């Protein structure tokens, strides 16, 4: 985990690292149906940068290939330096963070070493970002709260 002093040194007070668990949802479903053993479900624990300024889930290409997530087309991306590009998009990504789990699509970044958790993941899992402690916490320990108007 990145310390507060390291975040101050790099100017990244809104960013910190956590470990997340990933699994291929197709494998999870096959295991639930008894067609695959739990040991055969492709899973990984990876470091992820929590970035409240990012929108989506971004995964390193190496992890995507290892876990066999299915292709879901392409997406145009814009980096913080305003450069743009096209990247692969994958689906069926089971992500668990801070005791919460959901299925997501993800953008594949070929040269990334860590995952990137953006606002979509944080909102879906109803997680509160604590930048001072460098941690994620469920807003309510028992429930995901969804704002409905």
CATH of the domain at 109: 2.40.70.10
Nearest partner of 21 among 112, 100, 137, 125, judged by Cα: 100
pLDDT tens over the chain, length 149 residues: 444 444 433 345 568 999 999 999 999 999 999 999 999 999 999 999 999 889 999 999 999 999 999 999 999 999 888 899 999 999 999 999 999 999 999 999 999 999 999 999 999 999 999 988 999 999 999 999 988 88
Residue 149 lies in a domain: no
Q: Dihedral sign, CA of 87, 89, 90, 94?
A: positive
Residue 145 lies in a domain: no
Residue 14 lies in a domain: yes
Residue 84 lies in a domain: yes
Number of domains in the chain: 1
Residue 71 lies in a domain: yes
Residue 27 lies in a domain: yes
Structural domain containing residue 130: 4-137
């Amino acid at each position: 985990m990145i310390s507060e002093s390291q975040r101050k040194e790099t100017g990244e007070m809104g960013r910190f690292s956590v470990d997340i668990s990933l699994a291929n949802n197709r494998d999870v479903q096959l295991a639930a149906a008894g067609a695959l053993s739990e040991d055969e479900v492709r899973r990984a624990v990876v470091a992820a940068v929590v970035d409240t300024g990012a929108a989506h889930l971004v995964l390193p290409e190496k992890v995507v290939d290892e876990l066999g997530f299915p292709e879901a087309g392409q997406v145009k991306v814009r980096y913080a330096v305003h450069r743009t590009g096209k990247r692969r998009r994958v689906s069926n990504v089971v992500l668990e963070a801070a005791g919460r789990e959901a299925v997501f699509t993800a953008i594949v970044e070929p040269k990334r070493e860590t995952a990137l958790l953006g606002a979509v993941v944080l909102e879906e899992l109803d997680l509160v970002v604590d930048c001072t402690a460098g941690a994620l916490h469920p807003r309510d320990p028992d429930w995901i709260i969804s704002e409905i108007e």
